[in-house]
Structure 1
Amino acid sequence: MLGSRGLGTVHGLLVGSVSHQVLRRAACPVVLVRAVTDGAVAEGAVTEGASAPRGREVVVGVDLKHSCDALLAFAFEAAALRAAALRIVHGWEPPIGSEYMASPAVDGSAGDLSAADRDAMDTLLAAWRERYPTVEATTVLVHAPPPAALVEASAGAALVIVGRPARHWPLGTHLGPTAHAAVHHIGCPVAVVPHD
Structure 2
Amino acid sequence: MKVTSVAIPLVVGVDGSESSLEAVDWAADEAERHDLPLLLVHAVTPDRGAADLIGVATERARRNAPSARLSGEVLRGDPATALLGKGRNAFALVLGCRGRGDLAGLLLGSVSLAVAARADCPVVVVRGRPAHRDLRFRSVVVGVEDGEGSGTAVEFALREAHVRRCRLIAVHAWTVPFGGLSEPPPPAGYGAQPLRRPPAQVLDDALRGSAERYVNASVSRHVVEGPARQALLEAASDADLLVVGARRRRGHLGLQLGLINHALLHHAPCPIAVVPQM
TM-score, normalised by the number of residues in structure 1: 0.76
Aligned mates of 2:259, 2:118 — CA distance in 1: 16
For the aligned residues, what is the CA RMSD? 2.7
Deviates more, 1:168-177 or 1:67-76: 168-177
Q: Secondary structure of 1:191's match?
A: strand
Match of 2:262 among 154, 158, 180: 180
Instruction: Tell me if 1:123 matches 2:205.
Output: yes
Instruction: Tell me if 1:45 matches 2:133.
Output: yes
Aligned mates of 1:9, 1:98 — CA distance in 2: 46
Q: Secondary structure of 2:179's match?
A: coil
Q: Mind listing any 5+ residue stretches in structure 1 that lack a counterpart?
A: 36-40, 47-52, 100-112
Q: Secondary structure of 1:156's match?
A: coil
TM-score, normalised by the number of residues in structure 2: 0.55
Aligned mates of 2:251, 2:224 — CA distance in 1: 29
Q: When you count strand as a share of all residues, which structure comes out higher?
A: 2
Instruction: Tell me if 1:34 matches 2:116.
Output: no
Q: What letter is aligned with 1:25? A: R
Q: Secondary structure of 1:44's match?
A: helix
Match of 1:148 among 213, 230, 253: 230
- Contact kept, 8 Å, 2:123 with 2:275, in 1: the verdict is yes
- Contact kept, 8 Å, 1:58 with 1:157, in 2: the verdict is yes
Which structure would you say has the larger RCO, counting Cα contacts within 8 Å and 6 or more residues apart? Answer: 1
Deviation at 1:163, TM superposition (A): 1.2
Equivalence for 1:4: 97
Q: Identity across aligned pairs (percent)? A: 39
- Contact kept, 8 Å, 2:172 with 2:199, in 1: the verdict is no
Deviation at 1:68, TM superposition (A): 2.0
Q: How has the CA–CA distance of structure 1 residues 130 and 54 changed in structure 2, closer, same or farther, with 3 Å as cutoff?
A: farther
Aligned mates of 2:107, 2:250 — CA distance in 1: 25
Deviation at 1:173, TM superposition (A): 4.2
Asked which structure has the greater CA Rg, the reply is 2
- Contact kept, 8 Å, 2:141 with 2:236, in 1: the verdict is yes
Aligned mates of 2:110, 2:144 — CA distance in 1: 26
Equivalence for 1:77: 159
Matched positions, count: 171
Aligned mates of 1:131, 1:174 — CA distance in 2: 28
Which runs of structure 2 are paired with 1:58-77 in the superposition (5 Å)?
58-77=140-159
Cα deviation digits, residues 8-40 of structure 1 (max 9, x gap): 565xx52111111000010100111138xxxxx
